[in-house]
Chain A
Amino acid sequence: MYAALLSNRYLTSRLIPFIAIAAVALCVALVVTVVSVMTGFLNMLKDSGRQIVGDVIVSSGIGGMPYADEFVADLRGLTTVQGASALIDTIGLLRMPYPRGDQKEITHVQVWAVDAASLATVTDYANDLYWKPPANAAAAAALAADDPRRHLDASILEDGKSLVESRTGTPGIALGMHVSVGNARQRDGSYLPRFGWFMPDCDVTLTVVPVSGQGKIAEPREQIFPVVNEVQTGVYEVDKNRVYIPLKEGQRLLRLDEAPLFDLNAEPDSQGRYPVIGVTPARVTKLLVRAKSGISANALRDQVELAYQAFSKRIESDPSRSARMPEFVNVLTWEQQLRDLITPVEKEREMMRVLFSLIYLVCAGLILSIFWAIVIEKTRDIGILRSVGASRAGVLWIFLRYGFIIGTVGSALGVLMAWGVIRNINAIHEAIGSDAPRAIWIGTFVAAGFCALALVRTIWRGRLLAILLWLLGTSVLTLIATALALHHGTLIWDPSVYYFTIVPDQVDWTTAWSTALGGVLFSVIGAAIPAAKAADIDPVEALRYG
Chain B
Amino acid sequence: MAKQPTPILSARGVRKTYVFGAIPVEVLRGADLDVSQGEWVAVLGSSGSGKSTLLHLMGGLDKPDRDGGTIRFQGTEVATTHGARLDLYRNREIGFVFQFYHLLPELNVLENAMLPAMVGHWFAQFSGRAVAARASASALLESFGLGHRLHHRPAQLSGGERQRVAIARALANSPRVLLADEPTGNLDVKTGEGILDLLSERHARGLTVVMVTHDPAVAARADRIVKLTDGRVEDEPPTASKPLKDNE
Taking beta carbons and an 8 Å cutoff, which residues of A are in contact with B?
1-3, 5-6, 9-10, 13-14, 380-381, 383-391, 394, 538-541, 543, 546
| Stretch of B28-36, B92-100, B204-212, B239-247 lying at the A interface | B92-100
Chain B nearest CB from A431 CB (Å) reads 43
**Told that A384-B103, A388-B115, A539-B61 touch, could you supply 4 new A-B pairs with CB distance under 8 A?**
A5-B111, A10-B106, A389-B92, A391-B122
CB pair B116–A389 under 8 Å, yes or no, is yes
- Residue pairs across A and B with Cβ atoms less than 8 A apart, 29 shown, are A1-B118, A1-B122, A5-B118, A6-B104, A6-B107, A9-B106, A13-B106, A380-B102, A381-B104, A381-B105, A384-B104, A385-B115, A385-B119, A386-B90, A387-B61, A387-B90, A388-B90, A388-B91, A388-B115, A388-B169, A389-B87, A389-B89, A390-B87, A391-B84, A539-B90, A540-B61, A540-B62, A543-B102, A546-B102
A289 to B88, CA, bound (A): 78
Given contacts A1-B122, A380-B102, contact A387 B59 (CB under 8 A): yes
CB pair B102–A538 under 8 Å, yes or no, is no
**CB-defined contacts of A540 to chain B, threshold 8 Å:** 56, 61-62
Chain A nearest CB from B155 CB (Å) reads 11
Taking beta carbons and an 8 Å cutoff, which residues of B are in contact with A?
56, 59, 61-63, 84, 87-92, 96, 98, 100, 102-107, 111, 115-116, 118-122, 126-127, 130, 169
Chain A nearest CB from B23 CB (Å) reads 19
CB pair A6–B56 under 8 Å, yes or no, is no
CB pair A2–B96 under 8 Å, yes or no, is no
Chain A nearest CB from B154 CB (Å) reads 11
CB pair B119–A388 under 8 Å, yes or no, is yes
A381 to B119, CA, bound (A): 13
Given contacts A391-B122, A538-B63, A540-B62, contact A5 B107 (CB under 8 A): yes
Q: For the complex of A and B, list the 9 residue pairs with the smallest distance between their C-beta atoms, beginning with the closest.
A: A389-B91, A2-B118, A9-B106, A389-B90, A1-B126, A540-B62, A388-B116, A539-B61, A390-B119
Chain A nearest CB from B100 CB (Å) reads 7
**CB-defined contacts of A14 to chain B, threshold 8 Å:** 106
Q: How many residue-residue contacts, CB under 8 A, span A and B? A: 80
**CB-defined contacts of B122 to chain A, threshold 8 Å:** 1-3, 390-391, 394
A326 to B100, CA, bound (A): 96
Chain B nearest CB from A457 CB (Å) reads 29
Given contacts A1-B127, A2-B118, A5-B118, contact A538 B106 (CB under 8 A): no
Main secondary structure, interface of A, reads helix
Chain B nearest CB from A80 CB (Å) reads 64
A31 to B119, CA, bound (A): 41
- Residue in B closest to A2 when the chains form the complex, CB atoms: B118
A5 to B104, CA, bound (A): 12
CB pair A394–B119 under 8 Å, yes or no, is yes
Chain A nearest CB from B124 CB (Å) reads 10
Chain B nearest CB from A378 CB (Å) reads 9
A10 to B106, CA, bound (A): 7
- Residue in A closest to B93 when the chains form the complex, CB atoms: A389
A14 to B153, CA, bound (A): 14
**CB-defined contacts of A10 to chain B, threshold 8 Å:** 106
**CB-defined contacts of B98 to chain A, threshold 8 Å:** 543
**CB-defined contacts of A394 to chain B, threshold 8 Å:** 119, 122
- Residue in A closest to B88 when the chains form the complex, CB atoms: A389
Chain B nearest CB from A541 CB (Å) reads 8
Chain A nearest CB from B134 CB (Å) reads 12
CB pair B119–A2 under 8 Å, yes or no, is yes
**CB-defined contacts of B121 to chain A, threshold 8 Å:** 1
Chain B nearest CB from A86 CB (Å) reads 78
**CB-defined contacts of B84 to chain A, threshold 8 Å:** 391
- Residue in B closest to A385 when the chains form the complex, CB atoms: B119
- Residue in B closest to A7 when the chains form the complex, CB atoms: B106
Chain A nearest CB from B50 CB (Å) reads 13
**CB-defined contacts of B115 to chain A, threshold 8 Å:** 2, 385, 388
- Residue in B closest to A541 when the chains form the complex, CB atoms: B62
**CB-defined contacts of B92 to chain A, threshold 8 Å:** 389
**CB-defined contacts of B90 to chain A, threshold 8 Å:** 386-389, 539
Chain B nearest CB from A181 CB (Å) reads 69
**CB-defined contacts of B169 to chain A, threshold 8 Å:** 388
A391 to B111, CA, bound (A): 18
**CB-defined contacts of B59 to chain A, threshold 8 Å:** 387
Chain A nearest CB from B111 CB (Å) reads 7
Chain A nearest CB from B153 CB (Å) reads 9
**CB-defined contacts of A384 to chain B, threshold 8 Å:** 102-104
- Residue in B closest to A13 when the chains form the complex, CB atoms: B106
Chain A nearest CB from B197 CB (Å) reads 24
**CB-defined contacts of B102 to chain A, threshold 8 Å:** 380, 383-384, 387, 543, 546
Chain B nearest CB from A484 CB (Å) reads 42
A541 to B102, CA, bound (A): 13
A363 to B116, CA, bound (A): 38
CB pair A538–B62 under 8 Å, yes or no, is yes
- Residue in B closest to A542 when the chains form the complex, CB atoms: B61
Most buried by B among A10, A14, A383, A540: A540
Chain B nearest CB from A419 CB (Å) reads 34
A420 to B87, CA, bound (A): 49
Chain B nearest CB from A377 CB (Å) reads 11
Chain B nearest CB from A393 CB (Å) reads 9
**CB-defined contacts of B118 to chain A, threshold 8 Å:** 1-2, 5
A148 to B87, CA, bound (A): 83
